[in-house]
A and B are shown apart, each in its own frame.
Chain A
Amino acid sequence: MDYIKKIYYGDIPGENSGGGELKGFSDPSLESGDEAWPLWEVFIRSKQGLDHKHAGSLHAADAAMAIENARDVYTRRQEGVSIWVVESKDIHASNPDDSGSFYEPAEDKIYRYPGFYDLPDEVKQM
């Protein structure tokens, strides 16, 4: 890999520049032995009336600790009024490789948008 030689901030090369050796790509929470705390995804409601939004992830031994850690890591400046945490392994995701066919049914249904309908100008505010 001689083409990643360039050195940037936080990217110092060397005989062993580290971090690059992957031990197989699988669920990280399963790899790290049973001592490691599981990974949690954190969702935060920034103020009343808004949805919870994904903020990031963190490690914690259990849900209570995950919520406390989330408070310290993600809301040091009053960024939230409510926190949800869920273990990362419990999240199921759609497959990005299928996104073409998966979302295709919506592509040709332009009649689902208000702009599809031509109405006379007299019809105001619709």
Chain B
Amino acid sequence: MPTQYPDILFQQKINKEIKIEPKDWMPEAYRKTNIRQISQHAHSEIVGMLPEGNWISRAPTLKRKAILIAKVQDEAGHGLYLYSAAETLGITRDEMIDDLHCGKAKYSSIFNYPSLTWADMGAIGWLVDGAAILNQVALCRTSYGPYARALVRICKEESFHQRQGFETLLVLSQGTVDQKAMCQDAINRWWWPSLMMFGPKDSESTNNDMGIKWKIKRKTNDELRQNFVDMAAEQVKVLGMSLPDPALQWNEANKKYDFGELNWDEFWKVVKGNGPCNKQRLAARVKAHEDGAWVREAAVAYQRKRKAAVRSSFGEAKEAV
């Protein structure tokens, strides 16, 4: 019987919150959806190092530099957890990297915006990591086991990212007139792109939503976006700053914030590769990969040589006997 209706048994497992593991039967579309989502998530972590890496050499103090390096290193780690989770579904690391480098695979559009000032390091931590955390916390209960485990690990590390970002802004918000202006400017530039991180409106999506049915995704885009607005609208008060949205207003009846319409033209423009930094980001990734090729090759050559040495010394020993 199990082989007769594998798809029904599969859905029953999902409904009972039983995780799907790599060797379990799964519909081909489930496998593909997970590969796409997990690898895009991984690419986002990796490309996401670039806007912040940009400021490591110019951090204002040694303390801030150490913090920023630690955060960027965490993001590399997140990328690695996720790549290996995706690999359990039968795609290789090389295929994923190739897909990214040739522009076939996507990553979160937020990383196609430039980081222009030091305050951007604060705004990215607070808003971009803040938005990512909401997404990722919701995803910790995702149905595919290796993805869920990677996310649990990631979520444990993310809260430091958001806190250091907020604290960076807090320091600026209590500084000179120029520092305050820099703080507000960074918030203004990162606010709307952060809201776009949650994807298009639910009403733009198809009704036949396998992502929710298969419990790959646990909350809708609009739900998460609303949570984010409610959180940030309160926190910005602590900074004594404002969010760049004249329509932002507490709605007492609905117990949530109303907010303005996102610029969806801009959203699609950036998704389609025409954002401010798309080309620069990909070029940086490709260059890093190519510049590192000799290291990878040398490591393989060294390992082969050592294996051969072990083999030949084993052969000599045998002959001696």
Q: How far is the CB of B103 from chain A (nearest CB, A)?
A: 8
Binding stretch for chain B, among A19-27, A102-110, A116-124: A19-27
Binding stretch for chain A, among B90-98, B171-179, B241-249, B252-260: B90-98
**Are A32's CB and B32's CB within 8 A?**
no
Q: Which residues of chain A come closer than 8 Å to B199, judged between CB atoms? A: 7-9, 11-12
| In the complex, chain A residues 46-75 whose Cβ is within 8 Å of any chain B Cβ | 56-59, 61-62, 65, 72-73
**Are B81's CB and A18's CB within 8 A?**
no
| In the complex, chain A residues 1-46 whose Cβ is within 8 Å of any chain B Cβ | 1-12, 14, 16-20, 22-26, 28, 31-37, 39
Quick one: which of A5, A19, A57, A61 contacts B84, CB cutoff 8 A?
A: A57
**Are A18's CB and B36's CB within 8 A?**
yes
Quick one: which of B2, B80, B205 contacts A7, CB cutoff 8 A?
A: B205
Knowing A5-B206, A7-B199, A19-B39, say if A32 contacts B93 (CB, 8 Å).
yes
Q: Which residues of chain B come closer than 8 Å to A77, judged between CB atoms? A: 157
Chain B, Cβ-Cβ closest to A57: B84
Knowing A18-B99, A73-B80, A96-B24, say if A11 contacts B90 (CB, 8 Å).
no
Which range holds the interface residue count of chain B? Answer: 35 or more
Q: How far is the CB of A74 from chain B (nearest CB, A)?
A: 8
Q: Which residues of chain B come closer than 8 Å to A93, judged between CB atoms? A: 23
**Are A14's CB and B106's CB within 8 A?**
yes
Quick one: which of A3, A17, A62 contacts B306, CB cutoff 8 A?
A: A62
Q: Tell me the complex Cα distance, A18–B42, Å.
A: 13
Q: Which residues of chain A come closer than 8 Å to B224, judged between CB atoms? A: 9
**Are A58's CB and B84's CB within 8 A?**
yes
Quick one: which of B37, B100, B157, B204 contacts A8, CB cutoff 8 A?
A: B37
Knowing A19-B39, A36-B94, A37-B300, say if A4 contacts B33 (CB, 8 Å).
yes
Q: Which residues of chain A come closer than 8 Å to B108, judged between CB atoms? A: 9-10, 12
Binding stretch for chain A, among B116-124, B208-216, B277-285: B208-216
Taking Cβ atoms with an 8 Å cutoff, the residues of A that contact B are 1-12, 14, 16-20, 22-26, 28, 31-37, 39, 56-59, 61-62, 65, 72-73, 76-77, 93, 95-97, 100
Q: List 10 A-B contacts (CB under 8 A).
A: A7-B221, A22-B31, A26-B90, A31-B92, A36-B92, A37-B300, A39-B87, A56-B153, A58-B84, A62-B303
